[in-house]
Amino acid sequence: MSDNKKIKIVLAGNPNCGKSSLFNSLTGLKQKITNVPGTTIENKVGRFAIEDSFIDLIDTPGTYSFNPKSLDEKEAVKVFFEDPLPDAILYVADAANLKRNLFYFSQLAQHGIPMVLALTMLDIADFKGFEIDIDRLEKELGIRIYKVNARTGDGIAELKKALGQDQFAPHYAFGSKEDHTHESHFVSINKLLNKTTTLKSKRELVSNKIDAWATHPILGYLMFLVVLLVIFQSVFSLAAYPMDWIENGFSLLSEWLSAVLPDGWLKKLVINGLVAGVAGVVVFVPQIAILFFFMGLLEDTGYMARVSFIMDKMLRGLGLSGKSVVPLLSGAACAIPAIMSTRNIENWKDRLITIMVTPLMSCSARLPVYTLLISMAIPSDQYVGIVSVQALLMLGMYVLGTAAALVAAVVFKWIIRHDVPSYFIMELPVYHVPRWGNIWINMWQKSRSFVTEAGKVILVVSVVLWFLASYGPKTDQTFSIQESEKLVESYAGHFGKTLEPAILPIGFNWKIGISLITSFAAREVFVGTMSTIYSVGDEDNFEQIRDKMRKDTLANGKPVYSLGVVLSLMVFYAFAMQCMGTLAVVYKETKSWKWPVIQFVYMTSLAYLGSWITFNLFG
Amino acid sequence: MKLTELHIGKIGRIRSVADSPFKEKLQEMGCIPGSLIKPILKAPLGDPIAYELEEYTLSMRKNEAETIEIRPLDPIFAT
């Protein structure tokens, strides 16, 4: 054996088999996300040293078969043929559900790659009265089998050690030489299991008892509603603190930079373009991280599958499926990771419709816009009973977004042609006590992919928009007095004025036009632009911006921001596609510009139409 | 009889799975002639239905379950 041998091992297994736990427990936090060339998939690679070898362990998405159905599964399979070819496959199988778990194994075994089998969930198998003769199974298959428990760490050290040594290719013949149908594989698996396992007793799992509640016709939905309320309450109230720290941190950074950097365009680019752009991305991380924490918790415990189960029938009529629940809910934080989470939807049409409508869910970037506008439209002391009208209007915006997403889904269902019927064949995994390690790592990785995926785009767009808002056709404006005048004279200002005839019918003047343009990087920039236009120094001071906006009057003396205009603006922000980051992700996930273009056009048209109706109703 | 005709809590043995675009998916999930299957749970609107399939729980829609032909284990009490 040469010094520092490098070994490449691919981790494979069914969904819900405990693969992620094992991966995390083998590699700890030393994980790297790499892009498989030519695919959208990000593979997790973890490296660890054992004796004199380095092991690169590559995780793959959980898969039921070698004939992949969903995008996730298709990407999983590619890893086996990537250069350099893997030295071995570490196959993880749920001991309590061995028959189905061995099916994918039997398909992989045909390829002659050495394999090691790790058995998980032995406690559940034991509880079910399921006994496995490991020695016999090892002999039959011709490979090594290790019993592991990622939670307690049992068997992990032995498995690590084994991975550094030579593995064996399985010699058990699944199917026959001529016949490799699914059926023949299962016949072989049955024969194998008849020889090596016994069922001593049959006990009902607690899981089934929980399900009686979780899928109850009334209590089931009620429970889901409570879960949603808890999640959104936490997202907004818990995230407020770290968001404050981030904002304060960035304003300190800007102050420091403005003190140390020499005056000139570079200073402005750094502070108003780059730092402001980065701050605009990072400030959403707490909300997104908290939302992903909860989504991870619901998925890890197995509850999310039940939500899909009880929601499927309703969503099906709308061209979606039970599996659309996760993306739609995630869309309430940020459409970008939400769209990435559609990968496990097998049916292309279901997946496409989910992608197309998810950005209509009110994401967290819309929240500051709504907050400012609602405070303009409704006095804070107005109540219906004990509920504040402001809060009701905010809730109304979420309902409006969700309703629009569902209606749009129905329309797309009629428009998009696709012959393969949608199906919903899904495992309901056994309930688990949360595996916190998995949840933390999942949250960390998703938040990071938001920062890198969305961050890049938002940053570039921020810099471009900063340029458009800072420079104009007139070159002699360096000594311009007021920031607000500068903005008016800038390219963005000119665009705003050019845009005015088009947006007058929905009640918007050129000042709003400027904001519509600048908020194309991210919607919340609306608030910042308003504070610049109305020369408010501190953009966090909603009251000040609001008061200045209220005082703005038309030529005839009436206020610019009448109830009609404010509501029209809110509807516009609810529907319009003003997020470059989302468009970029849609392009990446659908591998075509067709869908982001359609999405941009339909959402903007919907926004225009919605605003026009609102403006004419209330204006 | 079709899997959809089997009552909740009754066990059937799968006889065949009809051709459909999702036949392969059903097979991969373990819907293979000979496997034991038992409907255990209906979603609130009656569809989809969760089945105990050998050692785990599988949920599918009615139109998917209709493609599965079963023989009830206990013909007298099956329906």
Set of chain A residues whose Cβ sits within 8 Å of the Cβ of B27: 182-183, 186
Q: Which residues of chain A does B58 touch, with a Cβ-Cβ cutoff of 8 Å?
A: 425-428
Mean pLDDT of all residues in A441-453: 82
Domain annotation covers residue B45 = yes
A305 vs B contacts (CB less than 8 Å) = 59
**Model pLDDT for residues A228-250, shown as the tens digit of each residue:** 888 878 877 888 899 889 989 99
Using the predicted structure, report yes or no on whether residue A40 has a pLDDT greater than 70: no
What is the predicted pLDDT for the residue at A552?
82
What is the Cα–Cα distance from A379 to A376, expressed in whole angstroms?
7
Residues in chain B with CB shorter than 8 Å from the CB of A310 are 43-44
Q: Could you tell me if residue B47 is inside a domain?
A: yes
pLDDT value at A356 more than 80: yes
Report yes or no: B26 at the A interface, CB cutoff 8 Å. yes
Mean per-residue pLDDT, A184-190: 90
Give the domain extent around B46.
3-72
Q: Do B48 and A186 touch (CB under 8 A)?
A: no
pLDDT tens digit string along A248-280?
A: 999 899 899 989 988 888 888 888 888 888 887
Q: Which pLDDT score is estimated for B53?
A: 93
pLDDT at residue number B33 = 93
Which one-letter amino acid corresponds to residue A259? A
Residue A400 confidence (pLDDT)? 96
Whether B30 is covered by a domain: the verdict is yes
C-beta contacts of A298-304 below 8 A and 24+ residues apart: A298/A227, A299/A326, A300/A432, A300/A434, A300/A435, A300/A438, A300/A439, A300/A442, A301/A431, A301/A432, A301/A433, A301/A434, A302/A16, A302/A207, A302/A428, A302/A429, A302/A430, A302/A431, A302/A432, A303/A214, A303/A227, A303/A431
**Segment 93-132 of chain A within 8 Å of chain B by CB:** 96-100, 103-104, 128, 130
Interface of A with B in 404-463 (CB under 8 A): 420-421, 423-430
> Which 132-171 residues of chain A touch chain B by CB within 8 A?
none
Say which of B29, B44, B46 has its CB closest to residue A425.
Answer: B29
What is the pLDDT at residue A110?
A: 85
pLDDT in the model for residue A417: 80
Q: Number of residue pairs across A and B with CB atoms under 8 Å?
A: 117
**In which residue are the tokens 């269902």 written?**
A413
Q: Is residue B77 part of a domain?
A: no
Mean per-residue pLDDT, A593-604: 96
- Quickly state the pLDDT bin for A420 (edges 50, 70, 90): confident
What is the per-residue pLDDT for A425? 93
Contact B24 A67 (CB under 8 A): yes
- Residue B78 resides in a domain: no
Give ∠ CA A243-A249-A253 in degrees, rounded to 5.
Answer: 145
Nearest CA in chain B to A97: B55
Q: How confident is the model at residue A538 (pLDDT cuts 50, 70, 90)?
A: low
Q: Which domains does chain A have, with CATH numbers?
A: 5-199 (3.40.50.300), 204-361 (no CATH), 458-618 (no CATH)
Residue B36 lies in a domain: yes
3-state SS of A112-151 is CCCEEEEEECHHHHHHCCEEECHHHHHHHHCCEEEECECC
Report how far residue A372's alpha carbon sits from residue A284's, in angstroms, rounded to the nearest whole number: 17
Give A182→chain B minimum CA distance, Å: 6
Asked whether residue A2 carries a pLDDT value surpassing 60, the answer given is no
Subunit contact B55:A425, Cβ cutoff 8 A: no
The C-alpha of A163 sits at a distance from chain B's nearest C-alpha, in angstroms, of: 28
Rounded Cα gap, residues A65 and A103, in angstroms? 7
> How much is the average pLDDT of A343-350?
85
Per-residue model confidence (pLDDT) at position A3: 56
* Interface predicted TM-score of the whole assembly (ipTM), two decimals: 0.93
Over 50: is that where the pLDDT of A163 sits?
yes
Model confidence at A595, pLDDT cuts 50, 70, 90, reads: very high
Asked if the structure places residue B37 within a domain, the reply is yes
Residue A177 pLDDT greater than 80, yes or no:
no
Asked if B9 has any chain A CB less than 8 Å from its own CB, the reply is no
Query: Which of A:31-70 have CB within 8 Å of B?
Result: 64-65, 67, 69
Give me the pLDDT at residue A1, please. 44
pLDDT higher than threshold 70 for residue A476: no
Quick one: pLDDT band at residue A574, thresholds 50, 70, 90? very high
Give me the pLDDT at residue B79, please: 47
Nearest to B43 among A98, A313, A429 (CB): A313
Share of chain A above pLDDT 70, in %: 94
**Does B34 contact chain A (CB < 8 Å)?**
yes
Q: What is the pLDDT of residues B23-70, one digit of tens each?
A: 999 999 999 999 999 999 999 889 999 999 988 999 999 999 999 999
CATH of the domain at B59: 2.30.30.90
**Residue B8 domain-assigned (yes or no):** yes
Reading the block at residue A408, the tokens are 């749009």
Hey, which residues does A94 pair with through a beta bridge? A120
As for how many domains chain B has, the answer is 1
Q: Is B75 on the interface with A (CB under 8 A)?
A: no
CB B27 to CB A221 under 8 A?
A: no
The pLDDT of residue A71 is 78
Judged against a pLDDT cut of 70, whether residue A460 lies above it is answered with: yes
For residues A51-68, give the mean pLDDT: 85
